[in-house]
């Protein structure tokens, strides 16, 4: 059984295969009838133990555009509140003839753990502070669409790197494609091991990072993952690390602005920057559907070339 648990497990050619497949689905999504019957024999469950707007709707749309039957599960309102375990929950759903699982969980490694206990493909829709692989794929796909390619481009990943699964998946995805990566944020929000372990540049100076980059991927502060705040106040964070239009206009070139959402407007990103013509934030969201269609299609075994992670 093949899964998509993280970008760390992928080869560059896997990423390219996903992008080529997503190109085809993006073309389908421009048609008046935005559907193909490719997965009409497949039932997919979206198992969300953590809140989501974009990822959850995007997966559901991707599944429906592929003709799959779709079931949605939220931990809130379920028998998880009565003490049912993750494995029991998923196995009970699978016994109703479900063929594939998309899962978001607040625990790092939850989909990897589950992959040892079930025999259908799992797509990780975000696990704790570990990975969010389809977000990184749609981010790189959007850079490729905007700038023509990812290789050789300079990408600044800005803000709360420590608690961000988007940051880690993006670092893996971008480095595998030959992009240069700088992470920028307060020292308290950047893990010390990153520079050597993942071959990225580290700076604590936002202007320096923005002057250097072609693309700034601005991240949300993950307050829900910090027991005690790792900076003095949101206002001070915003003054030192917030991206706004005045700062963008003062740079020596026009950079592309990205954000995975949800945005804390006025904290890490001002409205005038988020809504500017430099922003591709809503294109990222749009591309998420084609990317997720590609991942589901490939994991369902519809391509002979599929080489996504084995989950071992
Ligand atoms: N980017 C992202 O994962 O957003 P959601 O939490 O709304 O799914």
The SS3 assignment for 239 reads helix
Average pLDDT (32-39) is 96
Residue 227, pLDDT score = 67
User: Does residue 254 fall inside a structural domain?
Assistant: yes
Is the bond into 282 cis (omega within 30 degrees of 0)? no
- Ligand 1 pocket, residue 53 CB under 6 Å: yes
Q: Is pLDDT at 185 greater than 70 in this prediction?
A: yes
- Same structural domain, 213 and 86: no
- Same structural domain, 69 and 84: yes
Q: Quick one: pLDDT band at residue 230, thresholds 50, 70, 90?
A: low
If you average pLDDT over every residue of the chain, what do you get? 94
54 a known binding residue? yes
Instruction: Give the domain extent around 214.
Output: 133-282
User: Does residue 208 fall inside a structural domain?
Assistant: yes
- Same structural domain, 111 and 146: no
Residue 233, pLDDT score = 83
Average pLDDT (156-167) is 95
CA distance 275 to 105: 30
104 a known binding residue? yes
Atom of ligand 1 nearest to the CA of 58: 8
- Same structural domain, 184 and 295: no
Distance from residue 98's CA to the centre of ligand 1 (Å): 24
Q: Give pLDDT tens digits for 246-258.
A: 999 999 999 999 9
User: Does residue 160 fall inside a structural domain?
Assistant: yes
- Same structural domain, 155 and 253: yes
| Residue 221: closest CA among 162, 134, 275 | 162
Cα 184 to its chain centre, rounded Å, is 19
Residue 310, pLDDT score = 42
163 a known binding residue? no
- Same structural domain, 194 and 96: no
Look at ligand 1, atom 3, and give the residue with the nearest C-alpha: 55
191 a known binding residue? no
β-strand 100-105 against 69-74: which pairing, if any? unpaired
- Ligand 1 pocket, residue 52 CB under 6 Å: yes
User: Does residue 306 fall inside a structural domain?
Assistant: no
User: Does residue 311 fall inside a structural domain?
Assistant: no
Q: Quick one: pLDDT band at residue 312, thresholds 50, 70, 90?
A: very low
Distance from residue 250's CA to the centre of ligand 1 (Å): 30
| Of 139, 262, 281, best ligand 1 pocket probe by most atoms within 8 Å of the beta carbon | 262
CA distance 89 to 105: 13
User: Does residue 1 fall inside a structural domain?
Assistant: no
Q: Give pLDDT tens digits for 96-139.
A: 999 999 999 999 999 999 999 999 999 999 999 999 999 999 99
Distance from residue 10's CA to the centre of ligand 1 (Å): 22
- Same structural domain, 199 and 87: no
Atom of ligand 1 nearest to the CA of 53: 7
Atom of ligand 1 nearest to the CA of 50: 6
For the chain, the first-to-last Cα distance in angstroms comes to 10
Q: Are 265 and 221 in contact (CB under 8 A)?
A: no
- Same structural domain, 32 and 149: no
55 a known binding residue? yes
Q: Give pLDDT tens digits for 252-290.
A: 999 999 999 999 999 999 999 999 999 999 999 999 999
Look at ligand 1, atom 4, and give the residue with the nearest C-alpha: 54
Surface-to-core class of residue 261, CB atoms within 10 Å of its CB (0-12 exposed, 13-18 middle, 19+ buried): middle
Distance from residue 262's CA to the centre of ligand 1 (Å): 6
Residue 303, pLDDT score = 62
86: phi then psi, degrees, rounded to nearest 5: -60, -45
User: Does residue 308 fall inside a structural domain?
Assistant: no
**What's the pTM value of the predicted model, to 2 decimals?**
0.94
Residue 309: count other Cβ atoms within 10 Å of its Cβ.
Answer: 22
Residue 253 sits in a domain of what CATH number?
Answer: 3.40.50.1370
132 a known binding residue? yes
Q: Give pLDDT tens digits for 94-104.
A: 999 999 999 99
- Same structural domain, 119 and 76: yes
Q: Are 296 and 124 in contact (CB under 8 A)?
A: no
Q: Give pLDDT tens digits for 57-81.
A: 999 999 999 999 999 999 999 999 9
Tally the domains of the chain.
Answer: 2
- Same structural domain, 276 and 141: yes
Q: Is pLDDT at 13 greater than 60 in this prediction?
A: yes
- Ligand 1 pocket, residue 260 CB under 6 Å: yes
- Same structural domain, 23 and 88: yes
- Ligand 1 pocket, residue 224 CB under 6 Å: no
- Same structural domain, 291 and 257: no
Q: Is pLDDT at 308 greater than 80 in this prediction?
A: no
User: Does residue 247 fall inside a structural domain?
Assistant: yes
What percent helix, strand, coil does the chain show, rounded to 5? 45, 15, 40
């Amino acid at each position: 059984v093949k899964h998509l648990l993280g970008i760390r497990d992928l080869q560059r050619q896997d990423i390219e295969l996903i992008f080529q497949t997503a190109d085809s689905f993006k073309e389908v999504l421009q048609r008046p009838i935005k559907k193909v019957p490719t997965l009409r024999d497949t039932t997919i469950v979206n198992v969300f133990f953590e809140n989501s707007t974009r990822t959850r709707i995007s997966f559901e749309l991707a599944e429906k555009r592929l003709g799959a039957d779709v079931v949605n599960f939220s931990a809130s309102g379920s028998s998880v509140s009565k003490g049912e375990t993750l494995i029991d929950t998923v196995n009970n759903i699978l016994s109703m003839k479900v063929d594939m699982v998309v899962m978001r969980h607040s625990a790092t490694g939850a989909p990897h753990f589950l992959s040892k206990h079930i025999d259908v493909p799992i797509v990780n829709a975000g696990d704790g502070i570990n990975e969010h692989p389809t977000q990184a794929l749609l981010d790189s796909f959007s850079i490729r669409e905007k700038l023509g390619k990812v290789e050789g481009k300079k990408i600044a990943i800005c803000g709360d790197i420590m608690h961000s699964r988007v940051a880690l998946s993006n670092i893996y995805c971008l480095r595998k494609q030959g992009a240069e990566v700088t992470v920028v944020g307060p020292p308290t929000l950047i893990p010390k091991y990153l520079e050597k372990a993942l071959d990225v540049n580290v700076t604590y100076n936002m202007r320096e990072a923005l002057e250097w980059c072609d693309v700034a991927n601005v991240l949300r502060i993950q307050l829900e993952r910090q027991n005690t705040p790792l900076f003095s106040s949101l206002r001070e964070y915003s003054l030192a690390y917030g991206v706004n239009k005045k700062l963008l206009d003062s740079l020596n070139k026009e950079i592309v602005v990205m954000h995975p959402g949800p945005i804390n407007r006025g904290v890490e990103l001002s409205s005038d920057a988020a809504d500017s013509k430099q922003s591709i934030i809503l294109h990222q969201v749009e591309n998420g559907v084609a990317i997720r269609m590609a991942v589901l299609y490939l994991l369902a075994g519809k391509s002979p070339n599929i080489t996504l992670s084995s989950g071992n």
